[in-house]
Amino acid sequence: MTGTVDAAAGPAGSAPDSADATAPPRAAGPTVEQQRRQARRRHVAARIVVYVVAILAALLSAFPFIVEGIITFKRDQDLYAPGNNPFIYNLDPTVEHLDFLFTGTGFLGFVGNTLLVGGAVVAITLVLALPAAYSLARLPLRWGGALGITIFLVYLIPPSLLFVSFSRLVANLELQDSKWALVVLYPTITVPVSVWLLTGFFRSIPRDIEEQAMIDGYSRLAAFGRVAVPLAFPGIVAVVVFAFTLSAHEYLYASAFVSSSSEKTVSIGIPTELVLGDVFHWQELQAAALLVALPIAFVFSLLLGRFVAGFTMGAVKG
């Protein structure tokens, strides 16, 4: 926005010296000084609007998380007293609930399970998706284009339908009530998306680089492994983050196939294990949700540009 206003003000600003002598029509309208002032006023107004919208958007998005952060340290007598201001500490804050979350609940176990499932899902996803994406992007395949679209469409088959068959599959694999069932199932979601994303990244690498490597004696496979894969690193980072966060996000399969608390991931463990019957451990519950939310959002913020690029590349054929 700054650029456009400057561009409009620039030529007008340089006008006065010459305009006086030779070109009266310009002075007939509002003077240059007035125009300039008007432009500045508009500019200031636009900036104010931008900041108001920014603050509003940030507040509306973060409101529940801000409240979570506050009540994490609230004493029970403070939290449950009717009419108490929920946004301030009416009694001294305490870390007893945070302490209890780490020592008295399964929270760390849920985090551990999530890291383990996430790591395994990332590994499986990369092993399956990298070669498949390279093949679709570079190698001669008669049905390559149609196949690429079909793999993407697989992502759209609803888990609400698939879990019906999976309940039998999980039983046959004897993985009932095990986090390893999730390791087997989550790639059904991550592989199609990752193939789609990585195909875009591979297409965006200039062909010449691999061809030069092959002239230098690399086989096609080596050109893939030692040239194309390192160059697709930004895409791989996007896939790793996506596959990993899916393991933290996924709820349906986790609640259908994992029931003992020692096997649960954060997404299902926190809502089910920190509520005992009708008793909500509000402070622990909110602290746990916040502790999971913040690191994921931080990583996403760092990589946002990369995701936007990946989305654009995945969609636009090279």
Partner 1 sequence: MTATSAPARARVTDREGLLARLMLLPAIVYILALVAIPFVVAIAYSFSDVTAGDPSFDWVGLENYRANLDDPVFRRSLWNTFFFTAATMALTVVIANIVALLLTTDFRGKWFVRFLILLPWTTPAALGAIAWLFMLDSLLSPIDWILWQVGLLDEPRHMIWLGSSGWAKASVIGVQVWRLVPLAAVIIMAGQTSIPDDIKDAAAIDGAGFWRRLWEVTLPLTLPVIAIAVLFGAILTFTDMSLVSVLTNGGPVNQTQVLASWAYIRGIDGGNLAQGAAVAVFLLPLLLAATIGILRAVRRWEVG
- Yes or no: say if 98 and 287 are a contact pair by the CB < 8 Å rule: yes
Q: What is the DSSP string of 209-237?
A: HHHHHHHTT--HHHIIIIIIHHHTHHHHH
Q: Which of residues 269-308 bind partner 1 (CB under 8 A)?
A: 270-271, 280, 282, 285-286, 288-290, 292-294, 296-298, 300-301, 304, 307-308
Three-state DSSP at 4 gives helix
Q: Which of residues 164-223 bind partner 1 (CB under 8 A)?
A: 164-169, 184-185, 187-188, 191-192, 195, 211, 214-215, 219-222
Q: Which of residues 239-268 bind partner 1 (CB under 8 A)?
A: 245, 248-249, 251-252, 255-256, 266-268
The minimum distance between CB 158 and partner 1, in angstroms, equals 4
Quick note: the x/- pattern for partner 1 over 97-126, rule CB under 8 A, is ------------------------------
The torsion defined by the Cα of 181, 254, 98 and 296, in degrees rounded to 10, comes to 90
Residue placing its CB nearer to partner 1 in the complex, 99 or 186? 186
- Yes or no: say if 100 and 284 are a contact pair by the CB < 8 Å rule: yes
**159 to each of 70, 113, 154, 195, how far by Cα in Å?**
36, 21, 11, 19
Residue placing its CB nearer to partner 1 in the complex, 86 or 104? 86
The whole-angstrom separation of Cα 246 and Cα 58 is: 24
The whole-angstrom separation of Cα 167 and Cα 282 is: 33
Binds partner 1 (CB under 8 A): choice among 61, 77, 176, 262: 61
Burial 233-272 (b: 16+ CB within 10 A, else e): ebbbbbbbbbbbbbbbbbebbbbbbbeeeebbbbbbbbeb
57 part of the interface to partner 1, by CB under 8 A: yes
**196 to each of 39, 145, 154, how far by Cα in Å?**
46, 11, 11
65 part of the interface to partner 1, by CB under 8 A: yes
Residue placing its CB nearer to partner 1 in the complex, 103 or 142? 142
Tokens of 172: 């046959």
Residue placing its CB nearer to partner 1 in the complex, 19 or 311? 311
The minimum distance between CB 271 and partner 1, in angstroms, equals 5
Number of residues that bind partner 1 (CB under 8 A): 111
Return the range that interacts with partner 1 (CB under 8 A); candidates 20-28, 49-57, 94-102, 232-240: 49-57
Residue placing its CB nearer to partner 1 in the complex, 57 or 108? 57
